Amino acid sequence: MGIAPTRPGRRLTDEALGARSPRRRRDGHTATMERMGGGSIQLARLFGIRIGASPSWFVVLFVMVYLLSGYFSDALGGSEGEAFGIAVLAAGLFFVSIVLHELGHARIAQRNGITINGIDLWFFGGVAKLDRDTESPGEEFRISAAGPAVTAVVVVAAAALAITLSSPREVLDAARFSEVAVSPTIALLSWLTTINLFLLLFNLVPAFPLDGGRIARAIAWRLTGDKHRGTRIAGRMGQVFAYLMIGAGAYLAFTSDPFNGVWFIVLGFFLGQGARGAVLSANFSESIEGVTVADVMDPEPATMAGSTPLSPAREELERRGWPWTAVVDADGRYLGILDATADDDQRTDEGETVADAVHRHDRHEFAVGGATPLDALLTSEPMRRLGALMVVDEHGKLIGVVTVEQVHRALAAAAPGR
Is 101 assigned to a binding site? Answer: yes
Closest of 22, 129, 5 to residue 378, by C-alpha: 5
Which of 15, 80, 102, 350 is catalytic? The answer is: 102
Q: Give the separation between CA 93 and CA 57, rounded to whole angstroms.
A: 14
Is 356 assigned to a binding site? Answer: no
Q: Give the separation between CA 9 and CA 293, rounded to whole angstroms.
A: 19
The pLDDT value recorded for residue 11 is: 25
Q: Taking phi first (over 0 means left), then psi (-120 to 50 degrees means alpha), and beta for anything else, what does residue 114 get? A: beta
- The SS3 call for residue 72 is helix
Q: Which residues contact 48 (CB under 8 A, 6 or more apart)?
A: none
The pLDDT value recorded for residue 134 is: 86
- 101 neighbors 150 (Cβ within 8 angstroms): yes
Identify which of 91-95, 165-169, 288-292, 405-409 has the greatest average pLDDT.
91-95
Task: Kindly report the backbone phi and psi dihedral angles of residue 255, in degrees, each rounded to the nearest multiple of 5, phi listed first.
Answer: -120, -75
The DSSP code for 83 is H
Task: Kindly report the backbone phi and psi dihedral angles of residue 391, in degrees, each rounded to the nearest multiple of 5, phi listed first.
Answer: -100, 125
Q: Give the separation between CA 391 and CA 62, rounded to whole angstroms.
A: 49
**What average pLDDT score do residues 139-160 get?**
95
The amino acid present at 332, given as its one-letter code, is: G
- Does the structure show a pLDDT above 70 at 177? no
The pLDDT value recorded for residue 125 is: 81
- 237 neighbors 224 (Cβ within 8 angstroms): no
Where b means 16+ CB within 10 Å and e means fewer, 308-324 reads: bebeebbeebeeeebbb
The pLDDT value recorded for residue 9 is: 30
Q: What is the mean pLDDT of the chain?
A: 81
Is 105 assigned to a binding site? Answer: yes
Q: What CATH topology corresponds to 293-414?
A: CBS-domain (3.10.580)
**Residue 315 appears among annotated catalytic residues:** no
